[in-house]
Amino acid sequence: MSDSIQRSAAVLYQMEEETPGLKESAQALVSDTMLWPALNGTGATREEKEELIRTAPMLAGKEQLTAFVLLLLEQGTLDSLPAILRELRQLELAAQGGAVCVVTCARQPDEATLEDLRRAVCRLRGLERVVLQIKIDPAILGGFRLEVQGVVYDRSVRGRLERLAQGLKGDFDADSEELEGLVEGLKSKIQGFEVEDGSDMGSLVQNLKTRIQDFQSVGEVQEIGRILSVGDGIAQIQGLDRAVYGELVEFETGVQGMVMDLSRNSVGCVLLGQEAGLREGSIVTRTGRPADVPVGEAMLGRVVDALGQPLDGMGPIRTTETRPIEHEASGVISREPVNAPLQTGILAIDAMIPIGRGQRELIIGDRQTGKTVIATDTIINQKGKDVICIYVAIGQKASSVARVRDTLQKHGAMDYSIIVSATASDPAPLQYIAPYAGAAMGEYFMSQGKDVLIVYDDLSKHAVAYRALSLLLKRSPGREAYPGDVFYLHSRLLERACRLTQEYGGGSMTAIPIIETQAGDVSAYIPTNVISITDGQIYLETDLFFAGQRPAVNVGLSVSRVGGAAQTRAIKRTAGTMRIDLARFRELEIFTQFSSDLDQATQKTLDHGKHLLELLKQPLYQPMSVSRQAVLLYIGTNGLLDDVPVEQVREFASGFADRIELEHRELALEVQRTGNLSAVAIETIRADLENYKKEKLTVA
């Protein structure tokens, strides 16, 4: 039922109170077998229809009603007058403490039965008056079905048989969906009974009889509502007065929805599927459970949508557990400080902007600056480290998601990864719930004591999807048209990332949200929101990217609020001065770009900075081990590469690291295992570096 019908019925109700008898006249107009078809047909012009209304005998002397009908004709909604009269009847009954109850029977009930039903419904719903509307439907076989105030009481034979069939299905194998499978399952169960004497058979029969009697005495009670309006992925529903925020509802087409708006007279619901087949008046049923997704080991290696359904064409995912997508974040008592590193394999990040297990580190930058690549490299680097990775694609192109999947597959990372995809072509509700679904999957593994890495790519598109939903739900827009609760939207998501104490399982979930900026504007609404929520940010700069500095990390604007606590001793020891050296280099570079005469110290500082920048350049999808990073950082920060030509630094350093891993494998394994660079290792590195320079840096 639309809002216009409700408003029109309310106006007619007020008119009826002022001038009694209008309702009967309107009903007489609708019941006229000659006049009413003529008014709704196409045979007469609009002027002729207006003349028929003005001269209608049942409207004589009722100017208000005549004007009301003329208004409906002008609006093109004259055919809705019967629905308005039905709604008017509902308003009258509600004013009298009553309601309309629709009774569906297999055959016409007698008057005594109807009177019993009236009394039962009044007692059940606390009503003073009930008007019964009888519907005859032989398909229900027997019994009756009541629908009153959005609640359905199903005591029909058909309903009982359907519930019995569902109960039988549950007793057998879940794959036995056909009738033949049920029959075979029942046959095998009967054959499997072992009866020793008649008393066991008697008890079995008695038990079965009791179950049948108990089953028959129970009727199904459902809370139902009806669609007022539907469109743009939003359905306004009337009748679900006890629905709660975040609850799943089911439409008559099988599509599910999630409650996101609770108004005085209706419930706003977002559709988690296609709205085809849904229209005004369609039935909606409460499920009584929150929106959830399947979780479990079977999800690993799969690409799923926001509802946990497979998208990769590899068959169904057989899981036994589900988790609600919305879950309260772990409390302070259950959290442990972030002090265990999560290696990204990217030298610039692990050295200066370290990420710890349980941390929330933001990747922020303009479009096409390498944000997704950093996240992908981090996932690839977790191979063999017993870390479950979840990549949540929000509002991305389907081709981009496929590219990420192929990259992870190529490097063997899909074995421990899950991709949750809600692409730009998916409805806004699916884009909205996607990160929460990914977080629920991650929390399952975290609760088992495992380490989880989850990437949200990206939350700026997630906020846009939520803005679209909020505006369609008629919420007040605020800054940049975002609703006021958009901050809470991301804070409750990112707060779920943490590291648990051993008493609570000892697992962790590290969150890497991605935010896309416009022209480097980090002061926009969504970037500032997420920056304030996270434990640091990795800022990627467009100018650095196009200058060839990749990854294009701006060290000055990037920060990790965990710092050295998330680094191994070897990395902390060797990278200690790198950030300061680069900051000094940036400062001097600005002041000396117009100067041609530089002193020796300044020139040395500039040369050292240029060598460090070259060292930090790293190819795509080639994350480094801790031992390799330690070697490169040591020779770089200690100025051991400053005599190497700048254009040869990358090739020279990479070749030297390869040589260390090849010729001193035990040393590399020791650094990797202990996370410490011993004095013996340092001496070995220095000695080998001198020999390597003699071999490679020959004087022409």
Catalytic residue selected from 226, 561, 569, 579? 561
- CB-based contacts of 48-55 (< 8 A; 24+ apart in sequence): 49/73
Length of the chain as a residue count: 700
Strand partners, 292: 324
- Upper half-sphere CA count for residue 263 (Cβ side, 13 Å): 14
Instruction: Write out the H or E segment, with its range, that includes residue 686.
Output: helix 679-696
- Pull the structure tokens for residue 486: 């958009």
- Pull the structure tokens for residue 45: 């012009």
State how far the alpha carbon of 585 is from the alpha carbons of 568, 588, 610, 633, 638, in Å. 26, 5, 8, 17, 15
Q: What is the CA radius of gyration of the chain?
A: 35
Only one residue has tokens 């009301």, namely 68
Instruction: Write out the H or E segment, with its range, that includes residue 238.
Output: strand 234-238
- Upper half-sphere CA count for residue 397 (Cβ side, 13 Å): 4
Say how far apart CA 251 and CA 242 lie, in whole Å.
17
Say how far apart CA 557 and CA 553 lie, in whole Å.
9
How does 450-474 read in b/e, with b if 16+ C-beta sit within 10 Å?
bbbbbbbbbbbbbbbbbbbbbbbbe
Say how far apart CA 128 and CA 125 lie, in whole Å.
9
692 in Cβ contact with 654 (< 8 Å): no
Burial of 124 from C-beta contacts in 10 A (0-12 / 13-18 / 19+): middle
Only one residue has tokens 């610039």, namely 348
Say how far apart CA 150 and CA 228 lie, in whole Å.
13
Closest listed residue to residue 584, CA positions, set 567, 604, 600: 604
State how far the alpha carbon of 296 is from the alpha carbons of 203, 391, 405, 682, in Å. 41, 16, 20, 45
Strands ordered across the beta sheet of 559-560: 303-304, 417-422, 387-394, 451-457, 508-516, 362-365, 536-540, 559-560
First-to-last alpha carbon distance for the chain, in angstroms, is 89
Q: How far is CA 137 from the centre of its chain?
A: 41
Cis peptide before 551 (omega within 30 of 0): yes
561 catalytic? Reply is yes
Say how far apart CA 198 and CA 194 lie, in whole Å.
11
Query: Under 8 Å CB-to-CB from 3, ≥6 apart: which residues?
Result: 228, 229
State how far the alpha carbon of 362 is from the alpha carbons of 357, 438, 454, 513, in Å. 14, 17, 12, 5
Q: Angle at the Cα of 185 (from 180 to 191), degrees rounded to 5?
A: 125
Only one residue has tokens 């409700």, namely 6
Closest listed residue to residue 544, CA positions, set 536, 535, 553: 553
Residue type, 559: V
Q: How far is CA 506 from the centre of its chain?
A: 26
Say how far apart CA 471 and CA 234 lie, in whole Å.
11
User: Maximum Cα–Cα distance for the chain, whole Å?
Assistant: 115
**Active site positions, annotated:** 561
